[in-house]
């Protein structure tokens, strides 16, 4: 990665309130168990982000849903800026986070979720390296969505009319990218943890 670039790595996560987070896992884990898993996964990914920031000149940020800024800072990080995701569907919230980052002077912005236990500094480095050559980088999730998306310029149209929550998110996003057009780099596919059958992807996980 070019060390002169202004790079920003943003985590999209949700405050782990029982009954409001990881709801598709509640049948398997219960409301408290699903919230505990959300808490654990978010804490793990923040640790990976901090490790990456020790190796690369990257600004870190957390964009949250639910909770409030004080609760987020008390939970995850007092020294990483925590900003609300705001209103709208996931596309509107992603577009807003990218726009705000570019408005602050970022030249390469990568957004990740807290659902992918395979994420780490190597993937982050690959993403930012790709943005030195391409307009868009996407990390395909095995469920048809994506675990990472990065841009080196605003692209609001990329997030419009996407069937969020379906298995078509990645395919429709790539179709939008082709139409814009945005030169795109795909990372390796990784597994998200959204449904009970996904729990096998968490190392040493035992049901509460």
CA proximity to 99, closest of 85, 115, 79, 119: 85
Give the number of C-alpha atoms closer than 13 A to the C-alpha of residue 150, restricted to the C-beta side.
30
CA proximity to 123, closest of 189, 42, 37: 189
71, 21 Cβ separation under 8 angstroms: no
Q: What average pLDDT does range 178-189 have in this prediction?
A: 96
CA proximity to 61, closest of 139, 141, 6: 6
Band the pLDDT of 206: cuts 50, 70, 90: very low
3-state secondary structure of 148: strand
CA 135 to the chain's CA centroid: 18
Q: Hey, what domains does the chain have and what are their CATH numbers? A: 7-196 (3.90.550.10)
pTM (two decimals): 0.89
For the chain, the 3-state helix, strand and coil shares in percent, each to the nearest 5, are: 40, 20, 40
Range list of H helices, 85-144: 90-103, 121-131
3-state secondary structure of 192: coil
What percentage of the chain has pLDDT greater than the value 90? 62
Q: What average pLDDT does range 115-133 have in this prediction?
A: 94
Q: How far apart are the first and last CA of the chain?
A: 41
Phi-psi region of 148 (alpha: psi -120 to 50; beta: other; left: phi over 0): beta
pLDDT digits (tens, 9 = 90+) for 8-25: 999 999 887 766 766 676
pLDDT at 175 over 80: yes
3-state secondary structure of 53: helix
pLDDT digits (tens, 9 = 90+) for 40-60: 889 999 999 999 999 999 999
């Amino acid at each position: 990665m070019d060390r002169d670039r202004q790079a920003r790595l943003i985590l999209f996560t949700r405050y782990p309130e029982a009954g409001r987070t990881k709801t598709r896992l509640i049948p398997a884990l219960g409301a408290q168990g699903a919230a505990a898993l959300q808490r654990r996964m978010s804490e793990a990914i923040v640790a990976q982000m901090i490790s990456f920031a020790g190796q690369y000149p990257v600004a870190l940020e957390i964009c949250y849903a639910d909770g409030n800024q004080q609760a987020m800072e008390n939970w995850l990080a007092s020294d990483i800026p925590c900003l609300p995701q705001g209103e709208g569907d996931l596309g509107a919230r992603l577009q807003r986070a990218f726009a705000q980052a570019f408005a602050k002077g970022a030249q390469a912005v990568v957004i990740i979720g807290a659902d992918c236990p395979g994420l780490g500094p190597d993937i982050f480095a690959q993403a930012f390296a790709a943005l030195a050559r391409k307009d868009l980088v996407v990390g395909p999730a095995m469920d048809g969505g994506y675990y990472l998306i990065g841009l080196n310029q605003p692209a609001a149209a990329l997030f419009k009319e996407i069937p969020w929550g379906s298995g078509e998110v990645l395919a429709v996003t790539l179709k939008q990218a082709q139409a814009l057009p945005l030169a795109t780099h795909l990372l390796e596919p990784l597994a998200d943890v959204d449904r009970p059958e996904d729990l096998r992807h968490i190392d040493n996980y035992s049901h509460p």
